[in-house]
Structure 1
Amino acid sequence: MEAGFDGVEIHAAHGYLLDQFLKDGVNDRANDAYGGSLANRCRLALEVVAAVAGEVGAGRVGVRLSPYTEHMDATDSDPDALGGNMARELGRLGVLYLHAVEPRMVRPYERGETRHSLRPMRDAFGGTFVVAGGYTREDGDRAVAGGYADLVAFGRVFLANPDLPRRFQLGAPLNEYDRKTFYTADPVVGYTDYPFLDDLPK
């Protein structure tokens, strides 16, 4: 907050540390309070959220979860139960929002078919619910209009379109993102070199 930010999003998704504790495919701890049962596997993530909320206020904290994804081999045998439990507990903690990755995004950048839905997580959480994962503007409009989500997050398409809200508003064409520049050390290429609408030839 001292740096001028309005809030904090805790990244508990995509195979990173907190996600590794959450998922039974990688959490093989059997002899302590952070492995084995669903409640134990969720313990660390919830303790982190509670600690951050204690510092800045729960109303300034969001959490990103991806119970259905298999990023970095972080899998779970029952992602519905995992997502539902985390959503309920985060609702009890009173965090500002829950940001969940669509079940169809099982692997990075691959949009597939699935029987799973984020609707039970939304219902269990009871607060502001943000969805992400391969959305177009039209998909996002339908998700919000149909009550599936309150907000839709855009990542790759926003990176390639620094004026994305304006493009959506105008129905303007979008820049294509260049995947091979996503994880490079260059501070410009693939990050700040995508053109704004006003920079494009008329």
Structure 2
Amino acid sequence: MQPAGWETESLGSRVSLVNGDIVVAADVGRRLGAAVIDLLIPVTAAAIVSVVALIVHIPQFITYDIGSADSEWLTNLKIILWAMWVTSPGLAAWYGARRIAKRGQSLGERASGIRTVRVENGRLPELSQALIRQLLPVGAATVAVSAILLALPPRSVLTVLQIGGACWFIAHLSTAFSRLGQGWNDTAAETVTIRVHPGRP
């Protein structure tokens, strides 16, 4: 079995799959755009739920004494909002993996004109491969955030979120340093992301 290879032309990086098929690898911009779209969907849903939850509790906020200990309703609200925002990236990764295994594209990839295939033969990835590919960037960010939370005071939440976002961004940007157009999550999952219509801008 020959290893996959590559060559560059004006259209982009032409990747040779293990079975010899030639495809055009997706560029970093399209991949990153697809990842952002996939993340925005659950984050937007979480934001809507958060706003509704806050609006519903406006009467309690009006009468709430900031100097007092948290009441039960405020504690429950914090738990709900925290759970929504923490699970959003994971839900996005899970839903994206399901679509990739079934159709070869997440919603973001479809909008960006790219798709994910097996580097071996260009076929749809197995669900396990898609899960590895989608969950690794989220996992990297989660591990980084968890480690930092143990070292920083509670008021450093913004810094933690920024570092977690940076880890997520770097994971998707890693494709720029691969000769096969693969991010390190693609390498682990044995997949490659390609252009669906490489002749279009």
Q: Which structure is larger by alpha-carbon Rg, 1 or 2? A: 2
TM over 0.5: no
Q: What is the TM-score of this pair, normalised by structure 1?
A: 0.24
Normalising by structure 2, report the TM-score: 0.25
The higher-RCO structure (CA 8 Å, 6+ apart) is: 2
